[in-house]
Structure 1
Amino acid sequence: MENTQLVIGVPGTWKNRTEIIQAIASKSEGFLMAGNIILDSQTNKEYQVEVYDYDSTLSDAFSNACRESLSKDVLTKINNHTHTLYVITDVRHIEDVINVVGVGAGLLKAGGIAVKIENSGVAHSKEVWLELQNNHEYSLIYSHFVNIVGDKNLLYSCGMQFFGLPDVITRSSLATKDAADLIDNFNLYNLVERPSIKNGETFSIGKSTPIMKIQLSNDKRYDKDNLFYNKFGLIELREKKEKSKFWKILNRK
């Protein structure tokens, strides 16, 4: 399976780079920073890190990405940040993503305020991220890393590349919430079961829900150098009235 890049951003109010290094060493519970590397001292795995100075647009970026889950107090703290640490690493399966959860948790314990997943546009508070560190259920990892974007006419997911899988897009006549549920259920089914999927096959999440025809394609939503680009492609779900080969109900928690 090919690797793909995952980037998370963690802002904080550290005074300078020296304070960042000291805070990580003393408070992160197992991580060390040297140069542009963060080291997990328990596994010896290295992660690339870049340190950026204050960004006046960062609070708005977190606000747009947090699904209204960040309080005004947290957004104010983000607006008053001094530096942001961007952790960059290659992932290929869910275990790698879980390891990134651990890195993010370490940086939060070392003074970070919140976490934003740059490749899918999702942000989480410190409390939510630390809870995720202790619960690695597939549905929770998925829901924290994958974003559903679009409008009533077109919805698609962003972030399935972290698991080595294509994203899903649909232009169905379903209500927005139902279309989002369809995408979530398909993505979770694909993540958990890893079925062999071919063009023309069908999928449904229930006996009374529409039958969707599967169309595989390359990701034409973004340029190849865009962080949101999915090298594993897209799965388009189109409504079709026939018996479905795949019938699976997986509820997003």
Structure 2
Amino acid sequence: MSEAFPRHVLCFLGSGLDLSEMERIAKGFGGFVLDREYSEAEPDPRMPDAFEASMAAASFDEDDWDAVESHDTVGYLLSAPMMRELAFDTSRRLLAVTAALLRSGATAVKNESNGLAHGRDRWLALADAAADEAADATDEDLADALVTAWVKRPIYNGQVLYSCGMHLLGAPEVEIEVGGEPPAGGELLDLVAHLDALAVYLLTDPRAQEIEDGAGFRMSEDAPRWLLRTGACTRYDEDDLFFNPYGYVRLTPAG
């Protein structure tokens, strides 16, 4: 197990965004600070390409793209490096911070620690779903909202679909073997559903703390059986924001 501690680095854009006010709001949620070295009251011409590379198109509308194009201020918000047992709650609180800042002048947000961005409406909906006031939400509902908010998926490398961002929730990345042909259509949706089910399982089921190679996994009692394999994170160096010190759990076809 690596001794690296994951941390969130969030990039906020705005037009006339008050960085001092942004810092004040974030501090009210505890444990989040403005990176004064890289935050600046001037536009960054790299942002349109950076947001496009962060899967923004999945939830961006025209207003979101206009906000990126017209920004004149960039603020970077940092969490403290997160011990594993604090990561889930820290990420829940940071989602509330994100919503508060979007309602107070920020216009676009992406996460440098997983390469993921959402449109304004998606961020706010996810924050509402994860809020303390969502009394009817189950543990699985909360986990699903946080996975959607903070975990980039699916990423395809020619052999597996995998995630990036589970380290921000204190859990291994999730992967699923797909062979050599890029999945598409209904097959892709089914594989992503398996990834998401495994992610929620890792975050909510106590048995997930003791996964052994070769253990079985099913979406439901009558669904096809998969085998679980574990391994260390080798895609990124330990000093990379994407690095997951908890490794990965991979679904492989049984038989």
TM over 0.5: yes
What is the CA–CA distance in structure 1 between the aligned matches of 2:95 and 2:229, rounded to whole Å? 32
Once the two structures are superposed, what CA deviation does each residue of 1:38-82 show, in whole Å capped at 9, x if it has no partner? 411xx5x23121214422121222233224311123212211211
Please give the residue correspondences for 1:16-165 in structure 2 after superposition, counting only pairs within 5 Å.
Answer: 19-21=18-20, 23-24=21-22, 32=24, 38-40=26-28, 45-50=30-35, 51-52=39-40, 53-64=42-53, 65-89=55-79, 90-91=81-82, 92-136=86-130, 137-148=142-153, 149-150=155-156, 153-165=159-171
- Following TM superposition, where does structure 1 have runs of at least 4 consecutive aligned residues deviating by more than 4 angstroms? none
Retained in 1: the 8 A contact 2:5–2:245? no
Q: Which amino acid in 2 is paired with 1:117?
A: N
Q: Which amino acid in 2 is paired with 1:169?
A: E
Q: CA deviation at 1:106?
A: 2.5
Q: Which moved more, 1:63-72 or 1:108-117?
A: 63-72
* Unaligned runs of at least 5 residues, structure 2: 131-141
What is the CA–CA distance in structure 1 between the aligned matches of 2:31 and 2:87, rounded to whole Å? 17
Q: Which residue of 1 aligns with 2:176?
A: 170
Q: 1:72 to 1:63 in 2, by over 3 A?
A: farther
* Unaligned runs of at least 5 residues, structure 1: 25-30, 242-253
Task: Give the root-mean-square deviation of aligned CA atoms.
Answer: 2.4
Once the two structures are superposed, what CA deviation does each residue of 1:196-217 show, in whole Å capped at 9, x if it has no partner? 2112212121345432222211
Q: Which moved more, 1:63-72 or 1:140-149?
A: 63-72
Find the structure with the greater CA-based Rg: 1
Give the number of the structure whose residues are more often strand, by fraction.
1
Retained in 2: the 8 A contact 1:2–1:164? no
TM-score between the two structures when normalised by the length of structure 2: 0.78
Q: Percent of aligned positions with the same letter in both sequences?
A: 23
What is the CA–CA distance in structure 1 between the aligned matches of 2:171 and 2:202, rounded to whole Å? 8
Q: CA deviation at 1:112?
A: 0.5
Give the number of the structure whose residues are more often helix, by fraction.
2
Q: Which moved more, 1:232-241 or 1:125-134?
A: 125-134
